[in-house]
Chain A
């Protein structure tokens, strides 16, 4: 599903340049649930940005579902993002003047899906995250956990190939974190490929594989026994 070969990225900071990614190689199969761990400055956010086509690597290959991702202009990147990727953010990033349903339907709007179908599909995914009754509430009327579930529903709505979660539990307390992870695990059980960036050990161990990043290189790439989040809920 995801293939990365010898990925390099550096940022220019005035006169000196900062080498953030120093040759990353990894492959993720379809249906995997991968945690990317690392301290701050290890390059995990940069890696996620490149995976999310929000940033471009200086060198190296990136193939997503057999499609080489390179030489992207903004329009093309937007198209690919919409088709291939679903984003889950630490701070949810819901649009505050839109109801939960409208938020979930937004990626479908950019797929030019007719309004009625959009509403139906958005409702279906809201149902999957257990927020059907909250469909017409504004984000400000939802709790943190509910907001993140709406965000997950939004990421799912476009039926992407890969879900990218950037610290999805970073802004939540541990009980809510486990609820969200439980949801992510269930989505993964349905066969979706998910990448989770986190710095919390317990969250990482709820995935099936952990990639440890340090100073721009992969330090350790290990398969782990998945801890089910449902037991804490």
Chain B
């Protein structure tokens, strides 16, 4: 420090200037250091699961990139229950029947079939192959279906196989699995016996729980069937070659697929992103990283500014207020329910409160896209024209008060999900019933599983609930309020309803069957079993270079099976 002894004390300005210079030097060093750290981290990250990055459309490789909503829990079709698994399986597997580009039922593994009163026969095509080249046989279906119903498997979708003879008893553990009414008459003939007439069985077998599983392959997986890309045999238009958990998947064209001339035109589909964040998806789409995304109403102005082609589709589900019909509940009183029914208007909810342009006001439990005998069900059986009538509502409320013998109505519990739309709807009904009827509702907001559990326990007066279709038939909604349906969480029970549902399940004459559904629809309104809120739809955008992409009401929510890239003309 010898030389510094002679330095004069610098002025503040000079000090700042010199120190600032030093700081700048540090900053430069820090930048260099940062660059090094980033480099090192990138080397590390290469090993910690990376997402394939590419463009939404890769012309050279005839490939597209998409985003998945969530990571499928596993890809065992017999046990799958969630939307993401449904999307993946619909591309890599095929059932006896499937859906064509216009969502019409068409042959899949079965080239033809016959449904009789007591059973059905499916004739399998000989060129349907597994991805290892072995033919798909009737035995693969027998093995799969028995496995679904085996109580040991504990498949949550086992109920969808109940029309098969002895299925329900087997699933309850009351009969041995071997007694199931299905057998392979030969490699290519599958015989099914019914428990009761099931005219809609063709629509059921298109559902993924009915997909085939090959026994020898299943046994070779040591209980890890469907856990990884190589733990699954494929028979669909695509095969999955890579599955990095929580991160990416790759589906590649299946060159053994029998129908490759009409389905599966892309060489590769990459699911590079897993995100539920709809804003993130929109940004990825804007940046040209994924081929499609759906939009919420606040995003529509942006989409219009970008001059995107906006399409709409119904996602298939219907939402409604469900009442608790248990004995100790006020909502058991029909006049009370009628009062609520007359005080509300789904049009107001959809057009003035929710303002989602792709939603339809709820008029019935049976959504507008369902077909009846020859055209749309709602056209053949128009729902009751509902009109708000506050005066009459108050009269019914007064009647209810007298019937119940109470002075005043206590506060009631309205159970709702924690989604923005759910909350908005609950608040709308809360203020509406307060204003028109002077009733006090307390909103009980619960996350998904907790809401379901509270519904199961009957811990509500009214609940904002909904239902999505499993198969393309009115019955997928039609039997919801039968006294034996476990899904009927409000415990509505009526002999008329049960009798009508029995007809709807078993009647072979399509006209009589639809008539029964028409009466069910009427009874649901007259008995005020539910108050329909809305049918959910989506606005969505697709990269204009990708053609024939579909969003579905039944089956996978997004369908790339028929999609192809339009090669530019120049």
A and B bind: no
